[in-house]
Amino acid sequence: MASAPTAIRRQRLWAEFVALYLGAPLAIALFMPGHLLFEALALFSLVGLGLLWRTGGFDWHSLVRGWSRLPWREIAGMALITFALGVAILWFGRSGALFNMLKNRPEFLLVVWCFYPILSALPQELIFRPLFFHRYAALLPQGRGAIALNAGIFAFAHLMYWSWIVAALTFLGGWFFARAYLRFGFPAAWLLHAVAGNVLFTVGMGAYFYSGNVVRPF
């Protein structure tokens, strides 16, 4: 039987987990203006890094180790699958958006390619991979259950887009990012996320993933 201090700490971790991964995304989806997305990500990154530091026992060098073990086949597969899914979704749902940025604003697409990995993929990966699997390890199920939970939490964090398509894609992406993080390290998860995001914007999926396009259903 767990001791009283251990049980209390576990309860506090659960409360923190729910507030961070469920409460905050719900509040953002309901109340936050879309143009504040990057400010919110920056704030959550700082909070996440603070919690990771407070936890102790985390190997900070692991954030920059693992470049020699990058799963290039998986990265190429992620790019091809993301491209095919994006084209199919837009072809049947919003054909006017297909390759819209590439055709009409190629210079802005280059900006996205440069800054999305740093300003969006990186802070998301810090919050949903190292923090999730290190600080909350005692709360997680074993094996694939932890990966499934991580993917579900990652998809819920995108509730602000109010789209089942975004939810499905981010669940699939979250599964592969979490799996890559556990198998190959943080650089692999970050690169997979960056590649997937850049491909989505290239094919025109900004129609779903650009916060400026979000319309709340109420």
- Beta carbons of 78 and 154 less than 8 angstroms apart: no
Rg of the chain over CA atoms, in angstroms? 18
Q: Is the pLDDT of residue 136 over 80?
A: yes
With H, G, I as helix, E, B as strand and everything else as coil, classify residue 162: coil
More confident position, 215 or 87: 87
**Residue indicated by tokens 């790019």:** 79
Q: How confident is the model at residue 199 (pLDDT cuts 50, 70, 90)?
A: very high
- pLDDT computed for residue 71 by the predictor: 96
- Three-state DSSP at 163 gives coil
What pLDDT does 2 receive?
55
Query: Of 13, 10, 15, 20, whose CA–CA distance to 154 is shortest?
Result: 20
Average pLDDT over every residue of 129-135: 97
- At residue 162, what are phi and psi to the nearest 5 degrees? 50, 50
Longest CA span, the chain:
63
Report which of 134, 136, 215 is spatially closest to residue 182, judged by C-alpha positions: 134
Task: Please give the model's pTM, rounded to 2 decimal places.
Answer: 0.94
DSSP for 47-65, please give it. HHHHHHHHH----GGGGT-
Instruction: Decide: 8 and 133 in contact? Cβ < 8 Å.
Output: no
Q: Where are the domains of the chain?
A: 4-213
CA dihedral 135, 140, 142, 144 (to 10 degrees): -100
Contact 52, 20 (CB under 8 A): no
Q: What angle do CA 210, 154, 97 make, to 5 degrees?
A: 25
Indicate the pLDDT class of residue 73, thresholds 50, 70 and 90.
very high
30-39, 51-60, 116-125, 133-142: which range is least confident on average?
30-39
